[in-house]
Amino acid sequence: MNFKHLIDLALKEGATEAEIFYSKGRVVNVETQKGSVGFGEESVSDGIGIRVISGGAFGYSSVNDPGKYEDAVRTAVKCAKARGRDPSLQGLPGPKPYRSVSGIYDRRIDGMKLDECIDTMAAMVSEATKDRDVSVTFGKFSSQVSETTIINSNGIDAHEKDTAAYGYIDVILKKGDQVSTAYDYDVSRALDVNFAAIGSNAAELAKSSLNAVSIESKTCDVLLGPQAFSDVMEGTLLFAINSENVQKGRSSLADSIGKKVAVDGLAMVDDGLIPGGLGTSAFDDEGVPTQATTIIDDGVLETFIYDSYTAGKAGRESTGNAVRGTYQLSPKVGPHNVRFEYPRSDVIGETKKGIYVNSIIGAHTANPITGDFSVECRNSFIVEDGRKTKPIKSLMMGGNAFQFLNNITGMGRDDRKMGAFVVPTVRVKDVHVTRGSQ
């Protein structure tokens, strides 16, 4: 689709720079109702977001009706003219070469129909309920394909197509007077996941959590599974490395560039080029090439992540971290695929005594500025002599996410794609845990 005439219209109406962000998507969702497949729908959406600069200020408008595209352009220009000049605004980005990326589009997902998605969800439920004591409380499978086009008056002209498939299931196991719950999920850009196994994994986790024991409050080594570790860090560490939060005085790491913020030997990289990564793309959501940005190197904070606006404000180059969840929103700073480099080993097998935490509840209550948190742990186990032994009834865990980075003593080899993270099981020393409500 050619949007150049909209760029020309924006300039004619008084904009000095203009950008069109177009996205088109198809999503198939299937959900369970009362323990079996009960809901399915297919939806298609498309629309454009128009961002302009006029009088030294941004203006933005969006619309999903092609007949109103030109009206939206005029509205964006009017919005810019109505705002005061922003001295930090350095303009829209210009074109740069893109590196090729792989593993973000799969024709099989693109071609999935509703009945195929229903069959996949049914297989997940079937595997989860092979044991009659297990029932499904909620399950979902979705496939999606999207196309993105970004052009601007400075010469950017970018187009990309990608896919994703997602499966989730939550189960409850009732055996005598005992009750256990568990969930599992997986997501991939390609149809390379055994989605039926998600159901059996959740059921097995629920079974292994029966006959749980209570523990006393203590400080010990805790092994955080990929889900638990990513949840702790999402609302704290990702918040702190966001340059918008840094510039607004909301990041506790604002004055820590060049300082030690993590254990020796730890590196953290936001990599927009990982093959098959959930956040992988040749370019960000304003057309700037993505890259691998080393944020922490050998425990030292090297940089934050930037989009074009925050980079201009800081007098530096964008790191290619402009993101937007929909064409209806203007871009904001966000990560792509945050991965960690640290010596890998069998962290469970080499742990003499500790606790393994599969997932947590309440990570959203963490203080994003201080990093303090208190969460409930789900499907936790005592670790003795290198293996998980007894499940734990109820457990609370508290601490500070930034201190966790300094207390890491090991990382496993079980990397999983968890939202904006690609993380393994992580062992952290000196973690305080307390008995939860029984």
pLDDT digits (tens, 9 = 90+) for 45-65: 999 999 999 999 999 999 999
Contact 307, 58 (CB under 8 A): no
The packing angle between helices 69-82 and 4-12, to 10°, is 40
How crowded is the C-beta side of 147, counted as CA atoms within 13 Å? 10
Residue 436 pLDDT greater than 90, yes or no? no
Could you report the per-residue pLDDT of 410-434, keeping only the tens digit for each? 999 999 999 999 999 999 999 999 9
Residue 165 pLDDT greater than 80, yes or no? yes
Length of the chain: 438
SS3 245: helix
DSSP, residue by residue, 341-406: E--B--TTTT-SEEEEEEEEE-GGGS-TTT-EEEEEEEEEEEEETTEEEEEBS-EEEEEEHHHHHH
d(CA 210, CA 272): 41
**Pseudo-torsion of CA 301, 306, 310, 313, nearest 10°?**
60
> What are the structure tokens assigned to 116, written together?
């195929």
What pLDDT sits at residue 438? 58
- Average confidence (pLDDT) over 303-320: 97
Instruction: Say what the pTM is.
Output: 0.95
Residue 210 pLDDT greater than 90, yes or no? yes
Q: Which residue type sits at 393?
A: K
Vertex 295 angle, CA 292 and 301, to 5°: 160
**Percent of the chain clearing pLDDT 70 (strictly above):** 100
Lowest mean per-residue pLDDT among 32-41, 95-104, 255-264: 32-41
Residue 271 pLDDT greater than 90, yes or no? yes
What pLDDT sits at residue 34? 87
d(CA 154, CA 3): 14
- Average confidence (pLDDT) over 53-82: 97
Give the residue carrying structure tokens 């606006």.
309
Domains of the chain, earliest start first: 4-207 (3.30.2290.10), 212-438 (no CATH)
Residue 259 pLDDT greater than 70, yes or no? yes
Bridge partners of residue 396, in order along the sequence: 376, 434
Rg for the chain, CA atoms, rounded: 24
Residue 285's closest CA among 326, 322, 318, 330? 322
Instruction: Provide the mean pLDDT of the chain.
Output: 96
What pLDDT sits at residue 435? 87
What pLDDT sits at residue 2? 81
> What are the structure tokens assigned to 183, written together?
């969930």
What pLDDT sits at residue 148? 97
Could you report the per-residue pLDDT of 107-147, keeping only the tens digit for each? 999 999 999 999 999 999 999 999 999 999 999 999 999 99
